[in-house]
């Protein structure tokens, strides 16, 4: 037996082993589904639209706060600071570089409408990406005006969810030390995860076509919320220590690098969470890592991917 035959024999043994053990077969199937869907490209797409949409959303936030809380600058600053706390290190720089739209009625209306249209890019991209992961055919995805309504509702849910989880997590600060403070921090973190799970589920429900059952979105919502909190801690620590000097030395360029890295991590976690739900609900496992031969999961995944390309209008 030559070297090539030995390598093929080894890979088949490894493949057969993972297919027989669910604890290996399921994550392997999620990895294959991510590869089939070109998750790297989709993550880059979401990152781009998140970056482009972020500043219009911040313009909206700053302008609305300036109008609603114009008699209480301290409260206005606290709300804005809490909203930007989700961006470690970068929050203070973002807050210092985004300013409210003018107070003139005509300019304000034009600015608000323009900001809403600009922010809609992320929501539209999320609908396209998530429906693609779920293999929803084009002809069964929401069309105008429902897609627009879903997009604006998606933006509202994501914004409110981020603010609420940050607010709950902030309740544990300033407590001090001791058993009581530990209990408060655990309770605050648990509350943030629960709120994050509900916000994630509702955002997924708005972005994904109605033919996908809501009960099939809960696992991904939990994973997404836990991943969000994990990135707030671990990812924030990494960005703080690795990009602090870059932000100081390179100014705006460092800010852009850090922000793109942060948004990319969040998009990647979201795609992983959604693919877990897709593989679980459609029973797309076990998958073959080195086909042929193929499995039933392989054939179901490929059939659904082809069906998702259907653009012909439905009879109804």
Helices (H), 171-251: 179-207, 218-230, 236-250
Which residues, 6 or more positions from 299, have their beta carbon under 8 angstroms from its beta carbon? none
Every domain of the chain and the residues it spans: 38-307
According to the model, what pLDDT value does residue 275 have? Answer: 95
> Rounded CA gap, 78 and 76, in Å?
6
According to the model, what pLDDT value does residue 286 have? Answer: 92
> Rounded CA gap, 294 and 248, in Å?
53
According to the model, what pLDDT value does residue 24 have? Answer: 92
The backbone torsions φ and ψ at residue 103, rounded to the nearest 5 degrees and listed phi first, read: -85, -10
According to the model, what pLDDT value does residue 198 have? Answer: 95
**Run means of pLDDT, 10 residues per run, the chain, 316 residues:** 78 90 93 91 91 73 64 63 55 51 57 70 91 90 88 87 75 56 78 91 94 93 89 64 55 69 88 95 91 88 83 62
* Residue 100: other Cβ atoms inside 10 A: 18
According to the model, what pLDDT value does residue 256 have? Answer: 73
According to the model, what pLDDT value does residue 22 have? Answer: 92
For residue 158, give the 3-state DSSP assignment.
Answer: helix
Establish whether the linkage from the previous residue to 293 is cis, with ω within 30° of 0: yes
> Rounded CA gap, 289 and 140, in Å?
31
Q: Is 255 left (phi over 0), alpha (psi -120 to 50) or beta?
A: alpha
Pair 30, 276: CB distance under 8 Å: yes
Q: What is the DSSP letter of 313?
A: P
According to the model, what pLDDT value does residue 315 have? Answer: 55
- The residue written with tokens 């970068």 in the block is 90
> Rounded CA gap, 116 and 130, in Å?
21
> Rounded CA gap, 100 and 132, in Å?
37
> Rounded CA gap, 197 and 218, in Å?
8
């Amino acid at each position: 037996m030559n070297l090539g035959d030995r390598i093929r024999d080894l890979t088949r043994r490894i493949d057969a082993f993972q297919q027989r053990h669910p604890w290996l077969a399921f994550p392997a199937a999620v990895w294959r589904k991510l590869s089939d869907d070109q998750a790297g490209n989709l993550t880059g797409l979401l990152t781009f639209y998140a970056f482009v949409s972020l500043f219009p959303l911040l313009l909206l936030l700053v302008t609305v706060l300036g109008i609603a809380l114009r008699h209480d600058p301290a409260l206005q600053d606290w709300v804005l600071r809490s909203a930007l706390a989700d961006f470690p290190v970068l929050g203070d720089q973002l807050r210092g570089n985004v300013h409210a739209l003018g107070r003139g009625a005509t300019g304000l209306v034009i600015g608000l409408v323009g900001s809403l249209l600009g922010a809609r890019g992320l929501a539209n991209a999320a609908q396209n990406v998530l429906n693609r992961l779920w293999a929803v055919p084009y002809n069964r995805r929401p069309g105008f005006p429902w897609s627009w309504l879903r997009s604006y509702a998606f933006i509202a849910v994501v914004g409110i969810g981020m603010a609420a989880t940050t607010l709950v997590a902030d309740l544990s600060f300033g407590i001090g030390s001791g058993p009581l403070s530990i209990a408060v921090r655990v309770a605050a973190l648990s509350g943030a995860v629960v709120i994050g799970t509900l916000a994630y589920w509702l955002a997924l429900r708005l972005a994904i076509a109605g033919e996908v059952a809501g009960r099939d979105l809960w696992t991904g919502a939990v994973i997404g919320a836990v991943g969000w909190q994990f990135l707030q801690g671990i990812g924030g620590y990494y960005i703080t220590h690795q990009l602090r000097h870059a932000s100081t030395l390179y100014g705006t360029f460092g800010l852009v690098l850090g922000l793109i890295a942060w948004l990319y991590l969040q998009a990647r976690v979201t795609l992983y969470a959604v693919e877990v739900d897709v593989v679980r609900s459609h029973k797309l496992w076990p998958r073959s890592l080195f086909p042929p031969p193929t499995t039933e999961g392989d054939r179901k995944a490929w059939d659904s991917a082809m069906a998702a390309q259907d653009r012909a209008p439905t009879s109804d």
